[in-house]
Amino acid sequence: MRRRSEPHTFEQRLKAEQLRLEHELSGLPDGQQRASVMARIDQLQTAAAMHDFLMLREAAAAR
């Protein structure tokens, strides 16, 4: 029987994708593809910040 892996949290998936893209970025020359990867990293950072903000609001509302 196949074992299922532990589920990853949203934050863990964002961080893993960001690390993967940063590694990819280190090998790219200046140009459109590099700019695209940098924009994606910025989007992931924004998503993480929004998620943190919403979790704080949710926690405050629960109190």
As given in the structure block, the two tokens for residue 49 are 């910040």
Half-sphere exposure of 57 (CA within 13 A, CB side): 6
Instruction: Tell whether the model's pLDDT for residue 9 goes beyond 80.
Output: yes
Per-residue model confidence (pLDDT) at position 1 = 67
Other CB atoms within a 10 A radius of the CB of residue 24 amount to 14
What tens digit of pLDDT does each residue of 13-48 get?
Answer: 999 999 999 999 999 999 999 999 999 999 999 999
Prediction pTM value? 0.81
Between the alpha carbon of residue 24 and those of residues 10, 19, 40, 55, the distances in Å are 21, 9, 12, 30
Q: How confident is the model at residue 6 (pLDDT cuts 50, 70, 90)?
A: confident
Other CB atoms within a 10 A radius of the CB of residue 14 amount to: 17
